[in-house]
């Protein structure tokens, strides 16, 4: 089964391909068979996995393409690694006709896209996401960048790929925690845009987590379609694209506070969405029944429903004030107002926000 979704962005348009074997896609085989200047950017973990015999069909496609290997982990998504990649490209005399191929999860996609956007003022790149989180979210939409010690994704650019090639076979290599991390982003899409999808997830959660092909393909396709619709209407986050940041203000604070990679992004998003939902209840925008359903689906997935125990409300506020959505020192937060609908709120009193974080962390749930 193969799906193709078109992302229509005038001169920046491209296709998302979703299938269950990389070599079955003619487009990707053609890209690699051309004698162009391609470089695969990946990490040491992925490189070791794809060299296994079970992925011989991938090796047959990429065997003649040079690799640049970075270490595995969110903590390596930084400017030093950007410098290392650029040094490699310059040292090998790659010109503006080079195509960078991101083979990996969100970290690899973000850093490869960022290098592509700035190397010789912009070169082509392709996304081959290997994690569930990257397949449903991070590889689509052209957000690229790296972290700074004071804030996540604070250095970056918008730079669309020339194509996204999603092979669900990669997911069988992932540790369970990375599947769960991707599930947090899937649930996020349902909460923001689609109540029917949320109901479907409530019924099919375990099937997706167990990587059953029919449900998994449906789920990935659904998220890609939802994100494509947003990107086409708001490529550079001037309007509705900000809704995709549901829970992310809290989540990025958690990741920055704990140290990049200590909390997986999806784990932080799970806790962050619940904090956003609890704040919405406190503002009398979200009813308690919908809040309970949101908490329960994350709980049933095996994701965190609270932030780090040692992190105080003041810690969140300090870090959230550095968030990219802050304008004129005013914090703007995306919160759910029902399942399938969200709202951007600003000027929430700090006392309300502090109390909401504190009370959310103290909540006791009985499922």
- pLDDT tens digits, 37-54: 899 999 999 988 876 756
Task: Give the HSE-up count for residue 233: Cα atoms under 13 Å, Cβ half-sphere.
Answer: 12
**pLDDT of 323 over the 70 cut:** yes
Query: Residue 15: helix, strand or coil by DSSP?
Result: strand
pLDDT per residue as tens digits for the range 172-224? 989 999 999 999 999 999 999 999 999 999 999 999 999 999 999 999 999 99
Closest CA to 136 of 23, 50, 216: 216
Domains of the chain: 3-173 (3.40.50.1970), 176-362 (1.20.1090.10)
Averaged confidence pLDDT in the chain: 92
Burial of 203 (0-12, 13-18, 19+ CB in 10 A): exposed
pLDDT per residue as tens digits for the range 97-122? 999 999 999 999 999 999 999 999 99
- Spot the catalytic one: 252, 255, 324, 325: 252
Sign of CA dihedral 254, 255, 256, 262: positive
Closest CA to 338 of 296, 288, 270, 301: 288
- Spot the catalytic one: 17, 248, 324, 325: 248
Closest CA to 361 of 320, 289, 298, 310: 310
- Spot the catalytic one: 237, 255, 324, 325: 237
258 marked as binding residue: no
Burial of 58 (0-12, 13-18, 19+ CB in 10 A): buried
How large is the average pLDDT for residues 320-339? 86
171 marked as binding residue: yes
pLDDT for the residue numbered 336 = 98
Cβ-proximal residues to 262 (8 Å cutoff; 6+ apart), any chain? 255
Range in 14-18, 219-223, 265-269, 321-325 with the lowest mean pLDDT: 321-325
pLDDT for the residue numbered 48 = 86
Indicate if 149 belongs to the active site: no
296 marked as binding residue: no
**pLDDT of 8 over the 60 cut:** yes
Indicate if 162 belongs to the active site: no
13 marked as binding residue: no
| Cβ atoms of residues 116 and 122 within 8 Å | yes
Percent of the chain at pLDDT above 90? 83
Q: How far apart are the C-alpha atoms of 251 and 316, rounded to whole Å?
A: 9
pLDDT for the residue numbered 366 = 84
Backbone angles phi, psi at 14, to 5 degrees: -160, 170
Indicate if 284 belongs to the active site: no
**pLDDT of 305 over the 60 cut:** yes
pLDDT for the residue numbered 22 = 62
């Amino acid at each position: 089964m193969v799906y193709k979704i078109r992302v229509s962005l005038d001169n920046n348009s491209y296709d998302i391909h979703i299938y269950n074997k990389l070599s079955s896609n003619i487009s990707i085989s053609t890209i690699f068979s051309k004698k162009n200047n391609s470089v695969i950017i990946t990490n040491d973990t992925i490189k070791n996995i794809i060299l296994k015999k079970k992925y011989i069909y991938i090796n047959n496609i990429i065997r003649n393409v040079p690799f640049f290997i970075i270490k595995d982990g969110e903590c390596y998504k930084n400017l030093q690694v950007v410098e290392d990649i650029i040094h490699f490209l310059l040292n090998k005399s790659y010109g503006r006709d080079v195509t960078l191929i991101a083979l990996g999860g969100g970290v690899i996609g973000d850093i490869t896209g960022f290098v592509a956007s700035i190397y010789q003022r912009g070169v082509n790149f392709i996304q081959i996401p290997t994690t569930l989180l990257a397949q449903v979210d991070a590889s689509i939409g052209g957000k690229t960048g790296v972290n700074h010690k004071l804030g996540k994704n604070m250095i970056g650019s918008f730079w669309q790929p020339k194509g996204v090639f999603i092979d669900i076979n990669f997911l069988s290599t992932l540790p369970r925690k990375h599947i769960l991390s991707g599930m947090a982003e899937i649930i996020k899409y349902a909460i923001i845009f689609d109540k029917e999808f949320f109901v479907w997830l409530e019924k099919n959660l375990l099937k997706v987590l167990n990587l059953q092909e029919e449900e998994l393909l449906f789920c990935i396709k659904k998220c890609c379609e939802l994100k494509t619709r947003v990107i086409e209407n708001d490529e550079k986050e001037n309007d509705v694209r900000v809704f995709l940041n549901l829970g992310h203000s809290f989540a990025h604070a958690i990741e920055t506070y704990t140290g990049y990679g200590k909390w997986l992004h999806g784990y932080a998003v799970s806790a962050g969405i619940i904090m956003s939902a609890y704040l919405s209840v406190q503002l009398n925008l979200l009813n308690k029944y919908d809040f309970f359903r949101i908490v329960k689906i994350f709980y049933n997935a095996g994701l965190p429903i609270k932030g780090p125990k040692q992190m105080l409300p003041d810690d969140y506020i300090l870090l959230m004030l550095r968030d990219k959505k802050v304008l004129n020192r005013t914090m703007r937060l995306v919160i759910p107002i029902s399942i399938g609908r969200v709202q951007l709120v600003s000027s929430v009193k700090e006392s309300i926000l502090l109390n909401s974080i504190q009370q959310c962390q103290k909540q006791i749930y009985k499922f």
